[in-house]
Structure 1
């Protein structure tokens, strides 16, 4: 019995850290914490009402995700992307997701994955009046494309880009970012998979990513 309080405290600390990660991630992707903004531990720990140790753990995770970068003397800042980085991110996304849709389109049982993708599209449509939900539903759709392949290496590679993808949302402002979340353009990807034409599916994804990158940096 004596060990139980320690275990419970461990869970509580983990929960606080995850809540801090979520709060900071939302603040960064919504623009409340602007790119290049310094992250001051004393201020943030007071705002979030957590210890500086828990805050450091949360910021370490966000640094691994690519949302935070280290500057001189180890000071942490909200990451700032330039146009080249945006294009590079979307080029790698295009390669990964083209591989995913090609795999899905070539499957004999491809019809079995279409309902899940259609459901993800519906979630995107229902989120159009909620910015945070819209961002998450867009990410969920692209994450699902990779997950449905069952290729763990592909999934891990895509997830390693997720922080950078989130940062790209703030590069040119929310108005342009929202333009990349158009349901119709995502529906075209599902339509291409459903035909079983893997070349068409891959081409649709590449066009989708090229347009999205150009929209952000134009």
Structure 2
């Protein structure tokens, strides 16, 4: 009996997603270092997938900002410089400060604060886990902050930066990355939102992002 085309597409999609997840993890945790050239034949063999499926995953990684094309179209893991790091955190600060300011004025602020505190508790729960889990918990907090604002344009803009955000997290190595994942630093944002002061909430986000960028670029605590 011939397999239905729909089943074949699902299988292909599954392989693509698995490859995408494996490559994204390897890049964002530093297993594949910035500047590394990605060789199709080697990767397709290592992942045991076709080169066509690999190309689909690589296109997605390009869109996410994790890899970039160089001379003659050769793909390599993106390498960020200090200006790009500061630019990324500057844009994050603008987006998330807007979200925090809007949330501080919401009539359902108590519910918003409860969900954000839950996200911080998740960070605390994963604090003794592996690096990948800690990165995901940190990103969940910031994604939740933007999502709860109800501003779809803001959320879309933040999501389009997510690949660059992931790259920036590991810019200066594990030790500095972990400093920026401290749950207490994130509670300062939640407390400011809970106060109902939109200006204070926005300022808390800007201070958080400026501090995070300084940790990565300058090594400041």
TM class by smaller structure: over 0.9
1:132 paired residue number: 132
Alignment size in residue pairs: 217
Superposed displacement of residue 48, structure 1: 0.4
Answering whether residue 160 of structure 2 is matched by residue 195 of structure 1, we say no
With normalisation by structure 1, the TM-score equals 0.97
Answering whether residue 54 of structure 2 is matched by residue 69 of structure 1, we say no
Answering whether residue 10 of structure 2 is matched by residue 11 of structure 1, we say yes
1:24 paired residue number: 23
Q: Distance in 2 between matches of 1:65 and 1:53?
A: 19
Q: Secondary structure at the match of 2:4?
A: helix
Superposed displacement of residue 110, structure 1: 0.8
Gaps of 5+ in 2: none
1:90 paired residue number: 89
Q: Distance in 2 between matches of 1:49 and 1:59?
A: 15
Q: Secondary structure at the match of 2:68?
A: strand
2:111 paired residue number: 112
1:204 paired residue number: 204
Q: Secondary structure at the match of 1:113?
A: helix
**Cα deviation 1:147-194 (Å, max 9, x = unaligned):** 001111000000011000111122111110111011000011111111
The alignment yields a C-alpha RMSD, in angstroms, of 1.1
Q: Distance in 2 between matches of 1:48 and 1:169?
A: 25
1:47 paired residue number: 46
Q: Distance in 1 between matches of 2:93 and 2:118?
A: 22
Q: Secondary structure at the match of 2:31?
A: coil
Q: Distance in 2 between matches of 1:114 and 1:208?
A: 17
Q: Distance in 1 between matches of 2:196 and 2:111?
A: 12
**Cα deviation 1:108-138 (Å, max 9, x = unaligned):** 1111111211111111001112211100010
Superposed displacement of residue 56, structure 1: 0.3
Gaps of 5+ in 1: none
Q: Distance in 1 between matches of 2:54 and 2:81?
A: 27
Q: Distance in 2 between matches of 1:78 and 1:174?
A: 18
1:164 paired residue number: 164
Q: Distance in 2 between matches of 1:41 and 1:170?
A: 24
2:151 paired residue number: 151
Q: Distance in 2 between matches of 1:118 and 1:212?
A: 20
Q: Distance in 1 between matches of 2:187 and 2:170?
A: 24
With normalisation by structure 2, the TM-score equals 0.96
1:36 paired residue number: 35
Q: Distance in 2 between matches of 1:210 and 1:114?
A: 23
